[in-house]
């Protein structure tokens, strides 16, 4: 493919409209023996013209018979060169288990273990193959990282090169008997490698392998995404709460009542919105559904080795066919959890109201409120240092603000995330699908800071831990049609969420890798629609009409009903096992029971069936959340989300990222990902660049509103160009959205921290203060000016066990308390904490490896002391204000891994520094600890620390090694351990706690370096005129040889290994075919002969000529009058 440094604005505009564009391929064909041989030759250019080899060979029988897919050689079209491209995805690829396999696993890993995963065998031979192999590698890095070497990297990561090495084929098959696709499973990790003759066949296969590896999990996700978890898994309180949350967040009509399928409607209009990319997405959704359904059919009929997951027998169900609408349901769920931000306005109202109760002066109350909002803290760690102002608060019109009257809000309203509940109840207990909504990290090092001169990246999404994993891996390859924008090629390997896994969502292309972290920027507002009565009567909170632009409009109303039927596998297990009875389950919460829009009927006698009815109410702005009064006026609070009714709109961005035709450099990447409508931080690395782009449809809000509080939805304060008929508004343009390319400091880091100066935090985001968990990553990289891939992995792993409080807060506490407090207990505690900090403030068990954390006592003390410490520092606020703050105090390590993303770490740090300095640290308006009096603050903190030590001694004795977490029967270490939540009936072992991505890539692309000397003449292949014949007299100029013993003639006597009529020395394809990354020698062409590119290569030899001149594929005139280096004419057409 051709790497383009820049595209014109006009070209990019054409691309966004889906206009045709050159594919970067040239096609050679040769007739003979009843078949045509077509070579699709990908090209790539850098600072010099560089051509690399074949995309693949497609054999088509003469007479138009369907093409037969073939497995491609290992490394085809993979341009990582001498670098390493690695990844890891625990616990393993296998995710569908037969009944016999589940019995086998239960014998070595009991589902009834407490805590789950403890005591499980760690011998992979005790499990079905490919079940825990990657878990053991992932977990092993903790102890392996300190002594990691380039050679041992692959003990903890697997090779992510395209294809399967020779001799490593486990099995090959063509799903559904399709000749146009072959799936190859490797013996190493069972990853599916898909080779297709068209993108239709390729995406059909991604559907098939998704079901093959994750069918039951896919079924869970589509039921959650449709609000039917209780119908699928039974009427437990958690499942019912999950369904209710869905109706608050989306409430789309599946067509069962009205006949209008709003999921499918979002697919149907993609072509109108996105042109050819929308059409390709529509086709892809159907191809994917066809593949899933082929697997379901095979499993139900015992064909082709397909296995129906054992959970279906337990549930007494069979899977329904998959539809494109199901893919939209899963997309709405995934992006609604990980790709939203904002929606915290009502929580902010309640906090502000509590502050007004505490402080008589409303100005003071507002100042304190803003102290803790941290909208744009000047000290915030950010990914780019370039300013991108957004949502900078201007003057507020008091008439716009719509906080509820205290005590009138009928139902609690959650923030931006689609699902507020943390788990559903599955056949093997809780499935913690949504416990953390923003948790991923990225470490990127530019060429200037890399030891090799090539960029590096270690990055991945942190989405929790499941068995099977909620992500799955695949390797997908399908050729495009040259000159046809409706058929771009696919070359990608990486991870995707099952159910939307028609393409790779996080992974790599031919010569680049990409990944994401959740951004949490503001896409969601909660607005207040004044209620009315159409006849002019007095409205109440029971009214179902609302005022908009002077009219009293009826709400959209729809009531759905379903039977939540218990089954042996659909509710939490009992001991001893018994048929579940919903009447014996814990009662739902009062909030759930008293919701008039979500009614849970009584359990029917004998069957235990429960009738559930859910009502969706909508205004022109979105889904109704709750009712209240504002200054006595009844209102409906409505959740307005910029992605509402546009759930599948992000698919075209991934279509581009998966195609070598459409993304060929960092600029292409940025323009592709900015089109994704949900809010993420996206990162890119190739052999030259590191790049950053924030995605999302960010509305342009009206002046006069308070960005942190709800406002009236009367039309006066609408988003700019808000159009209810299409659920669209103007969005922030590309140039105004945070991005970066090769920053001067030489690196970028992200761990769900702030994006850029001036880019204000969303109203629900209160953690963008002076401390953030990203800092341990940045600290390590910034201290090293020559970083290797191995060291970057070490930095990631080392930072992943850091307790942010011990790392950043303990030094300030030590400064506050001094070397001796005069209190023996406080001194004991301070000594433990400072020794812990000096050793790195880790929560880990490495040396000695004995099941106990190094500095265990300090860890236990900090856990015990944290809440009393925060109470002490902010004692002047009062308990009611502290408890009303929307920001949780501590994001503790635990089963889901992700930790320290949000807490009071920064505000404690900022206030104590201010007290030490005698003045508030911006943007704080005042000092809190000890009312700003240093001596009083010091005494209060000392007494609090002393009391914590006394409390631990009283409970556990004086030996800190025996201290634990009060209220828990588990040790500190056991509490922290990561547990794979069983999304079915199979369990796997737990792991040591590390704050680390679930799926992780460690990559370096080195395309020119360390090319082998294949002919033994002392010259690396990239500097070799003819790398298949020894030319001992060559001079290595560091790029291309300039002479041979008898001139350049001998360099052209190498034969024609590709059979395309171009001698090897002139043919980049010959180089690539033999696994060598080299460049055409500019001496192998006579300047001026048919050279449209000016790079001294004849057009017939130069794929760049096709690309640069937009001439289409080479025709019979290409190569005419061109000569090779020895003066021999080249045949026309080559």
Half-sphere exposure of 903 (CA within 13 A, CB side): 23
CA distance 1025 to 1029: 9
| pLDDT value of position 414 | 58
Of the candidate ranges 220-234, 351-365, 1103-1117, 1119-1133, the one whose mean pLDDT is the lowest? 1103-1117
Q: What are the tokens at 218? A: 């896919």
pLDDT over threshold 60, residue 285: yes
- Which domains, ranges and CATH numbers included, belong to the chain? 1-65+1011-1134 (no CATH), 197-798 (3.60.20.10), 804-841+853-970 (1.10.1400.10)
Tell the residue number behind the tokens 């078949």, with chain if given.
35
Which of 334-343, 880-889, 890-899, 1060-1069 has the lowest average pLDDT?
1060-1069
Tokens standing for residue 888: 């949780």
Q: Which of 330-344, 703-717, 848-862 has the lowest mean pLDDT?
A: 330-344
Q: What is the pTM of this model?
A: 0.85
| Number of C-beta neighbours around residue 654 at 10 A | 23
pLDDT of residue 605: 77
Q: Kindly tell me if the per-residue pLDDT of 877 is higher than 60.
A: yes
In angstroms, the Cα distances linking 669 to 515, 656, 683, 834 are 11, 8, 9, 45
Query: What number is the average pLDDT over the span 1059-1082?
Result: 40
The pLDDT of residue 952 = 98
**pLDDT band, very low/low/confident/very high, at 568 (cuts 50, 70, 90):** low
DSSP-assigned letters across all residues of 344-363: -HHHHHHHHHHHHHH-SSHH
Cα dist from 245 to 418, 420, 913, whole Å = 7, 7, 41
Q: Percent helix, strand and coil across the chain, each rounded to 5?
A: 30, 20, 50
Average of per-residue pLDDT across 838-861: 96
- What confidence category does residue 773 fall into, taking pLDDT thresholds of 50, 70 and 90? very high
Report residue 849 as tokens: 């490896």
Query: Looking at residues 354-383, what average pLDDT do you find?
Result: 96
Which pLDDT value is given to residue 421?
52
Query: Among 513-522, 1093-1102, 1105-1114, where is mean pLDDT lowest?
Result: 1105-1114
Return d(Cα 508, Cα 162) in angstroms, integer.
Answer: 9
Neighbours of 848 (CB within 10 A): 8
> pLDDT tens across 437-465, in order?
556 899 999 999 999 999 999 999 998 89
Please provide the average confidence, as pLDDT, over all residues in the chain.
83
Residue whose C-alpha is closest to residue 1006's, from 685, 667, 743: 685
Share of the chain above pLDDT 90, in %: 67
Per DSSP, what are the bridge partners of residue 529?
636
Q: State yes or no: pLDDT of 317 exceeds 80.
A: yes
In terms of pLDDT, which residue wins out, 310 or 496? 496
Contacts of 798 (CB under 8 A, 6+ apart): 145, 776, 780, 840, 842
At residue 515, the pLDDT reads 98
Q: What is the pLDDT of residue 623?
A: 96
- Which among 902, 339, 257 has a CA at the least distance from the CA of 556? 257
For the segment 145-157, the average pLDDT, to the nearest whole number, is 96
Residue 176 pLDDT: 95
pLDDT-wise least confident of 300-314, 362-376, 412-426: 412-426
**Please, which residues have CB within 8 angstroms of residue 156's CB and are 6 or more apart in sequence?**
88, 137, 138, 140, 141, 144, 148, 793
DSSP bridge partners of 61: 35
E strand map for 1011-1109: none
How many residues are given for the chain? 1134
* Exposed/middle/buried for residue 35 (C-beta within 10 Å: 0-12, 13-18, 19+): middle
Return the closest-CA partner of residue 572 out of 727, 428, 701, 716.
428
Q: Is a pLDDT exceeding 60 seen at residue 312? A: yes
> Which of the residue ranges 46-55, 970-979, 1009-1018 has the most confident prediction, judged by mean pLDDT?
970-979
The residue ranking higher by pLDDT, 172 or 1118, is 172
Please state the rounded mean pLDDT for residues 172-180. Answer: 97
pLDDT value at residue 1030: 46
Mean pLDDT of 351-371: 97
Q: What is the pLDDT of residue 34?
A: 28
Q: Which of 18-27, 399-408, 484-493 has the highest mean pLDDT?
A: 399-408
Sign of the torsion formed by the C-alpha atoms of 688, 689, 690 and 694: negative
803-836 pLDDT, tens digit each = 999 999 999 999 999 999 999 999 999 999 999 9
Instruction: Identify which of 406-415, 561-570, 587-596, 688-697 has the greatest average pLDDT.
Output: 688-697
Q: Does the structure show a pLDDT above 70 at 1102?
A: no
Q: Alpha-carbon distance 669 to 208, whole Å?
A: 28
Q: 691-707 pLDDT, tens per residue? A: 999 999 999 999 999 99
pLDDT number for residue 1080: 41
547/542 Cα distance (integer angstroms): 15
pLDDT at 428: 62
Q: Is 53 or 1130 the better-scoring residue by pLDDT?
A: 1130
Show Cβ contacts of residue 649 under 8 Å, excluding neighbours closer than 6 positions: 266, 270, 273, 274, 643, 677
Does residue 91 surpass a pLDDT of 80? yes
- Decide if pLDDT at 1107 tops 60: no
Burial class for 466, CB neighbours closer than 10 Å (0-12, 13-18, 19+): buried
């Amino acid at each position: 493919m051709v790497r383009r440094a820049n595209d014109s604005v006009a070209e990019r505009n054409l691309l966004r409209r889906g206009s045709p564009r050159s594919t970067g391929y040239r096609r050679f064909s040769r007739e003979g023996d009843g078949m045509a041989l077509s070579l699709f030759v990908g090209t790539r250019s850098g600072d010099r013209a560089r051509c690399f080899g074949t995309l693949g060979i497609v054999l088509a029988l003469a007479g138009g018979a369907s093409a037969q897919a073939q497995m491609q050689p290992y490394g085809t079209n993979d341009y990582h060169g001498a670098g390493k491209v690695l990844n890891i995805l625990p616990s393993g690829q296998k995710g569908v288990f037969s009944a016999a396999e589940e019995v086998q696993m239960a014998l070595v890993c009991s589902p009834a273990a407490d805590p789950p995963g403890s005591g499980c065998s760690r011998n992979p031979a005790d499990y079905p193959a490919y079940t825990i192999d990657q878990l053991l590698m992932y977990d092993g890095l903790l102890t392996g990282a300190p002594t990691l070497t380039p050679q041992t990297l692959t003990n903890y990561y697997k090779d992510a090169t395209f294809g399967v090495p020779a001799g490593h084929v486990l099995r090959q098959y063509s799903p559904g008997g399709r000749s146009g696709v072959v799936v190859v499973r490797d013996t190493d990790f069972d990853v599916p490698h898909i080779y297709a003759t068209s993108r239709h066949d390729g995406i059909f296969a991604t559907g098939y392998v998704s079901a093959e590896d994750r069918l039951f999990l896919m079924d869970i996700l589509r039921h959650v995404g449709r609000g039917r978890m209780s119908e699928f898994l039974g009427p437990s309180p958690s499942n019912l709460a999950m369904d209710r949350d869905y109706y608050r967040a989306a409430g789309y009509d599946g067509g069962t009542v009205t006949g209008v399928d709003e999921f499918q409607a979002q697919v149907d209009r993609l072509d109108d919105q996105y042109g050819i990319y929308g059409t390709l997405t529509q086709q892809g959704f159907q191809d994917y559904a066809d593949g899933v359904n082929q697997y379901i059919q095979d499993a139900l009929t015992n064909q082709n080795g397909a296995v129906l997951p054992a959970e279906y027998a337990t549930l007494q169900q069979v899977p329904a066919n998959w539809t494109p609408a199901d893919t939209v349901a899963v997309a709405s769920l995934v992006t609604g959890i990980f790709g939203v931000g904002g929606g915290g306005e009502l929580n902010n109202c309640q906090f502000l109201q509590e502050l007004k109760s505490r402080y008589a002066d409303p100005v003071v109350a507002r100042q304190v409120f803003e102290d803790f909002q941290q909208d744009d803290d000047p000290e915030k760690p950010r990914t780019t240092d370039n300013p991108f102002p957004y949502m900078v608060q201007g003057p507020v019109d008091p008439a716009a603000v719509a906080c509820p009257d205290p005590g009138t809000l009928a139902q609690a309203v959650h923030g931006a995330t689609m699902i507020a509940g943390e788990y559903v109840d599955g056949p093997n207990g809780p499935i913690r699908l949504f416990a953390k909504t923003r948790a991923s990290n990225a470490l990127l090092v530019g060429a200037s800071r890399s030891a090799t001169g090539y960029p590096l990246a270690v990055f991945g999404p942190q989405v929790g831990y499941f068995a099977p994993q909620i992500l799955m891996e695949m390797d997908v390859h399908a050729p495009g049609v040259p000159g046809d924008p409706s058929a771009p090629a696919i070359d990608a390997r990486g991870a995707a969420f099952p159910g939307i896994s028609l393409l790779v969502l996080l992974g790599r292309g031919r010569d680049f890798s990409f990944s994401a972290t959740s951004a949490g920027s503001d896409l969601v507002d909660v607005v207040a629609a004044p209620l009315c009565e159409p006849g002019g009567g007095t409205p109440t909170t029971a009214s179902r009409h609302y005022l908009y632009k002077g009219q009293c409009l009826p709400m959209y109303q729809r009531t759905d009903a379903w039977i939540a039927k218990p089954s042996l596998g659909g509710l939490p297990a009992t001991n001893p096992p018994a048929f579940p009875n919903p009447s014996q389950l814990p009662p739902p919460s009062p909030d759930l029971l008293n919701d008039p829009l979500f009614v849970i009927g009584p359990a029917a006698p004998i069957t235990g069936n429960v009738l559930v009815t859910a009502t969706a109410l909508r205004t022109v702005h979105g889904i109704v959340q709750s009712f209240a009064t504002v200054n006595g006026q009844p209102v409906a609070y409505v959740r307005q989300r910029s992605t509402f009714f546009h759930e599948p709109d992000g698919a075209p961005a991934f279509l581009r990222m998966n195609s070598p035709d459409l993304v060929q450099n960092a600029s292409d990447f940025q323009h592709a990902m900015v089109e994704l409508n949900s809010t993420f931080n996206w990162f890119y690395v190739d052999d030259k660049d590191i790049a950053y782009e924030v995605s999302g449809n960010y509305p342009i809000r009206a002046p006069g509103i308070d960005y942190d509080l709800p406002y009236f939805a009367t039309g006066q304060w609408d988003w700019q160009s808000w159009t209810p008929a299409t659920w669209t508004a103007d969005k922030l343009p590309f140039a105004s959205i945070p991005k970066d390319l090769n920053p001067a400091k030489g690196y970028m880091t992200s761990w769900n921290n702030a994006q850029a100066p001036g880019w204000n935090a969303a109203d629900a985001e209160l953690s963008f203060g002076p401390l953030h968990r990203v800092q341990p990553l940045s600290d390590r990289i910034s201290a090293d000016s020559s970083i290797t891939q191995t060291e970057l992995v070490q930095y990631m792993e080392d930072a992943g066990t850091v307790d942010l409080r011990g790392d950043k807060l303990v030094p300030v506490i030590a400064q506050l308390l001094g070397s001796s407090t005069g209190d023996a207990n406080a001194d004991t505690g301070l000594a433990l904490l400072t020794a812990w900090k000096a050793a790195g403030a880790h929560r880990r068990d490495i040396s000695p490896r004995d099941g106990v954390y190094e500095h265990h006592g300090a860890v236990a003390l900090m856990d015990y002391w944290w809440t009393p410490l925060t109470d002490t520092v902010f004692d002047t606020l009062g308990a009611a204000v502290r408890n009303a703050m929307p920001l949780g105090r501590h994001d503790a390590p635990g089963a889901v891994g992700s930790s320290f993303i949000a807490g009071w770490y920064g505000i404690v740090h900022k206030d104590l520094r201010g007290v030490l300095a005698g003045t508030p640290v911006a943007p704080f308006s005042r000092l809190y600890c000890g009312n700003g009096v240093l001596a009083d603050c010091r005494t209060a903190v000392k007494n609090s620390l002393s009391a914590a030590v006394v409390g631990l001694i009283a409970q556990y004795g004086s030996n800190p090694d025996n201290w634990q977490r009060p209220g828990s029967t588990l040790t500190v270490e056991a509490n922290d351990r990561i547990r794979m939540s069983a999304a079915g009936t199979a369990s796997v072992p737990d792991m040591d706690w590390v704050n680390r991505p679930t799926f992780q890539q460690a990559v370096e692309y080195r395309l020119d370096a360390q090319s082998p000397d294949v002919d033994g003449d002392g010259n690396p292949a990239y500097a070799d005129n003819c790398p298949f014949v020894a030319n001992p007299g060559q001079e290595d100029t560091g790029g291309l040889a300039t002479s041979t013993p008898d001139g350049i003639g001998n360099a052209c006597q190498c034969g024609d290994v590709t059979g395309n009529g171009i001698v090897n020395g002139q043919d980049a394809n010959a180089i690539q075919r033999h696994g060598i990354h080299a460049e055409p020698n500019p001496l192998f062409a006579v300047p001026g002969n048919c050279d449209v590119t000016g790079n001294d290569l004849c057009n017939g030899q130069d794929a760049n000529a096709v690309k640069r001149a937009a001439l289409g594929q080479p025709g019979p005139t290409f190569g005419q009058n061109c000569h090779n280096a020895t003066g021999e004419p080249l045949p026309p057409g080559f």
